[in-house]
Structure 1
Amino acid sequence: MRRRPTGSTGGPVDDGRTASGAAHGEWLTRGKDGRLTLYAPTGGGLLRWTETAVGGPRWSGPHFVPVAGLTHLSVAQGANGYVHFLGRREREGADGTTGADVVHAVQYQTGLALSDWRSLGNPHRDRDDPGVLAAPVGAVAEDGTVHVFLRGADGGLVLRREAPNGKWRAWEDLRGGGLDARPAAIALTDGRVEVCAAAETGVLVWSQSAPGEDFTGPRGFSLRPVPGTVAALETAPGRATFFWTDAESGGAAAWRAGDWPVSLGGTPAERPYAVLRTSLDGYDCAVLACRDKDGAAVLGMGGTENESAGFWWYALAETCQGSPALARDGRGRVVMALIGTDGTPRVARQEDGDGLTLTRWDVLGS
């Protein structure tokens, strides 16, 4: 029997509410108490499912959080466990015109209500043209500073971030041009933030020389990722590896600044890869998940920063919307989540034993 969903204030919402797709970023998170939470966009807001105990297998939800006019949802988690929600919102003004802005909210503790949604404004002069405002992506620095990136109207990268006093700085123009709509931003454990984006000319990278400093770049590289597929993973202290679908080979590729890209094979992804670093059979491994061109979920794995030794891919008997998500639960097991074509989340966990074999898929909310 399907559980009756409840709103963020405890009130009921319509039965049968389902996800409208997958969120961008870290939409499967682990809280300080070890429980996982899954977030997904839906009409008029977002849905949330939460483990009832560390390691599952049961989940509460869905709980509905209303956000009128939300068109895109991105999720980022900080080292302190706080989960940050960034959205693109459209609203009709008093004169009947439709405007768009970026909104932000925070969940401080697993299962509790979100903060109020706050508008971060719009970096463009023509704020009445919602078509020019791209969807935001986020990264939370080691000290908890939230960074919001999006493609500007001129095709470059723009940033808004928190100041040390907790207030928000003005929008910053980080330059660049011809960018993909979804840059990949990563917060590194040395306190810095880096951004990588596919562009018409190749790949552009922005970075900080020290935590909290201004961003330098963009540095351009003659590489050819498929737009919309770039993802980032910290594979050594203060060093990011970027993963994408290579436009020439059609398979996955891994790349670190200052090195050559490494082909990983596999089937081409159309959305950003989900990425996770974990230990498998005592080896430091990178795990990737994606949606292939036919809509099927695919799982891959290989040695961290040892991609040339081989990457292993497994097609899964599940189809999904958008990108899957990866996380480790409170017992250290790899967990994969996806949004089914029916709008219902599905979750599978790492089985005991060697390698990475997943359990059967649990359908949430049923």
Structure 2
Amino acid sequence: MRRRPAGPRGASVTGGRAAEECHGIATGAADGEWLTRGKDGRLTLYAPTGGGLLRWTETTVGGPEWSGPRFVPVAGLTHLTVVQGANTYVHFLGRRERPGPDGGRNVDIVHAVQYQTGLAFSDWRSLGSPHRDPEKAGPPVAPSATVAPDGTVHVFLRGEHGGLALRREAPNGTWRAWENLGGGGIGARPAAIALTDGRIEVCAAAETGVLVWRQPAPGGDFTGPRGFSLRPVPGTVAALETGPGRATFFWTDAESGGAAAWRAGGWPVALGGTPAGRPYAVLRTSLDGYDCVVLACRDRDGAAVLGMGGTENEDAGFWWYALAESCQGAPALALDGRGRVVMALIGTDGRPRVARQEEGDGLALTRWDTLGS
């Protein structure tokens, strides 16, 4: 299997009609799945910007041209998380901060949905906050979220006393109240994953190690947290389903500084690399007939890095390649409508760039295309 990706050979794509605002510059990368594939096979890229977010959409399945950016206003948005359900609906969870009475501030979590590629968003709805006093909520972080196979959205946030708080939809579409799932010492946003057996699992780095919450059955209450004496760097945990109803968690190990893969019941496997303190983009796909995991991250020098190895076969080795393209935050990965791996990043200039899997064996990337403004 030819593993070495091609180096970036940057080019520019004009990308269709300009946004309704005066610029198309992102303020960084969103959290979660900010590169999504719709039911029609087209990819959409989302990024936060001043006063809201920006959206670019492929004009045809597989590209290479994109329309956008289109500006979606969200006043007071400070953090943005994007997740997609099995029904292809894209959900947006944001942390919103607005001036309050007496010089204070009102902080809440907001939610909106895009039901179809390129169409308008739903209205933004406030989900409130698990924190009675925003001043005691700790450093602001983006919410974590995942969508169960039945389409219900689950939102996770560091709650009171550093534990885990949950707000989720009921089957009838209404939202249940915030729930306290316990735990403590969570240092950053947790990683949540919806498994194909209908259950949800959550993994968080904490002061005491790793905490894991699980649903014994779809739609049920969460058990845990169960603690493990492991040392991930807070803010680096990502999750991927690597077997039926089985999650593998990826993170940066606090002792070695390299990537690691872990499944409950075993020990972490070192994957090497020198990633920075951000979550990984994770993707499972077939390469040359092999079931593979593809990871993307930002290294300590700010460059985008691509890694790959066999699914649940980490001991056989993992291969990393620096792509010589600097980025903000974590990159994103997705499969386009032709089944090709696509990697996206937000450049240091605030402009999105994308590269695709080339034809042929292994995983080599085409040149980087800069989406227009």
TM range (shorter): over 0.9
1:252 is aligned to: 259
Work out the CA distance in 2 between the residues paired with 1:59 and 1:220. Answer: 45
CA distance in 1, matches of 2:137, 2:98: 9
Secondary structure, in 3 states, of the residue corresponding to 1:204? strand
* Aligned counterparts, 1:205-284, within 5 A: 205-284=212-291
Per-residue deviation, 1:129: 6.3
Residue 93 of structure 1: aligned partner: 100
- Check the 8 A contact 2:15/2:68 in 1, yes or no: no
Give yes or no for the alignment of 1:69 onto 2:76. Answer: yes
CA displacement 1:208-229 (0-9 Å, x = unmatched): 0010000000000011111111
Deviation sequence 1:135-189 (CA, Å, 0-9, x none): 2110000000100001013100000000111110010000001102210000100
Partner residue in 2 for 1:180: 187
1:111 matched to 2:118: yes
1:13 to 18, 21, 38: 21
Q: Which residue of 1 aligns with 2:44?
A: 37
Rounded to whole Å, the distance in 2 between the matches of 1:364 and 1:134 is 27
Taking the aligned partners of 2:104 and 2:183, their CA distance within structure 1 comes to: 30
> Is the contact between residue 228 and residue 272 of structure 1 (CA under 8 Å) also seen in structure 2?
yes
Deviations for 1:68-105, whole angstroms, at most 9, x for unmatched residues?
Answer: 00000000100000000000000113544211000000
Contact 2:137–2:159 (CA under 8 A) maintained in structure 1: no
**Distance between the aligned counterparts of 1:182 and 1:46, measured in 2?**
21
Q: Is 1:337 the equivalent of 2:350?
A: no
CA contact 1:301–1:313 (8 Å) conserved in 2: yes
> Identity of aligned pairs, percent?
82
For the residue of structure 1 that corresponds to 2:315, the secondary structure is: helix
CA contact (8 A) 1:251 1:267 kept: yes
**Larger RCO (CA under 8 A, 6+ residues apart):** 2
1:23 matched to which residue of 2? 30
Q: In structure 2, which of residues 153, 156, 166 is the aligned counterpart of residue 159 of structure 1?
A: 166
TM-score normalised by structure 2 residue count: 0.94
What secondary structure is seen at the aligned counterpart in 2 of 1:122?
coil
Tell me, in whole angstroms, the C-alpha distance in 2 between the residues paired with 1:340 and 1:140.
29
Judge which range, 133-142 or 316-325, deviates more: 133-142
RMSD: 1.4
Residues 281-304 of structure 1: per-residue CA shift (max 9 Å, x gap):
000000000001110000000000
Displacement of 1:244 in angstroms is 0.4
Going from structure 1 to structure 2, the CA distance change for 1:257 and 1:131 (only over 3 Å counts) comes to closer
Does structure 2 conserve the Cα–Cα contact (< 8 Å) formed by 1:88 and 1:102?
A: yes
2:68 aligned with 1:55, yes or no? no
Structure 2 Cα separation of the partners of residues 223 and 134 of structure 1: 22
Deviation of the 1:17 alpha carbon: 3.0
| Higher mean C-alpha displacement, 190-199 vs 133-142 | 133-142
Deviation per CA, 1:2-31: give whole Å up to 9, x if none: 85533xxxxx211x3300000000000000
Aligned residue for 1:190?
197
Partner SS state of residue 331, structure 2: strand
The answer (yes or no) to whether the contact 1:284–1:304 under 8 Å persists in 2 is yes
Q: Is the 1:98–1:130 Cα contact (8 Å) retained in structure 2?
A: no
1:134-153 paired onto structure 2 within 5 Å:
134-153=141-160
Partner amino acid for 2:25?
T
Matched letter for residue 306 of structure 2? L
In the TM superposition, residue 248 of structure 1 has moved relative to its aligned partner by 1.2
Offset at 1:310? 0.4
Shift of 1:131: 5.4
Q: Distance in 1 between the 2:257 and 2:143 partners? A: 27
8 Å Cα contact 1:296-1:319 kept in structure 2: yes
Relative to structure 1, is the Cα distance of residues 132 and 280 closer, same or farther in structure 2, using a 3 angstrom cutoff? closer
Task: Tell me by how many angstroms 1:249 deviates.
Answer: 1.2
SS in 2 for 1:154: helix
- Counterpart residue number, 2:333: 326
Match of 2:294 among 282, 287, 290: 287
Give the paired residue count: 360
- Kindly indicate whether the alpha-carbon contact (under 8 Å) linking 1:122 and 1:133 is maintained by their aligned counterparts in 2: no
d(CA) in 2 for partners of 1:245 and 1:304?
A: 18
| Equivalent AA in structure 1 for residue 18 of structure 2 | P
- TM-score, with length taken from structure 1: 0.96
Q: Matched residues in 2 for 1:118 and 1:287: separation? A: 34
Aligned to 1:168: 175
Unpaired runs of at least 5, structure 1: 7-11
How many Å separate the matches in 1 of 2:332 and 2:141?
22
CA contact (8 A) 1:101 1:133 kept: no
Work out the CA distance in 1 between the residues paired with 2:137 and 2:185. 19
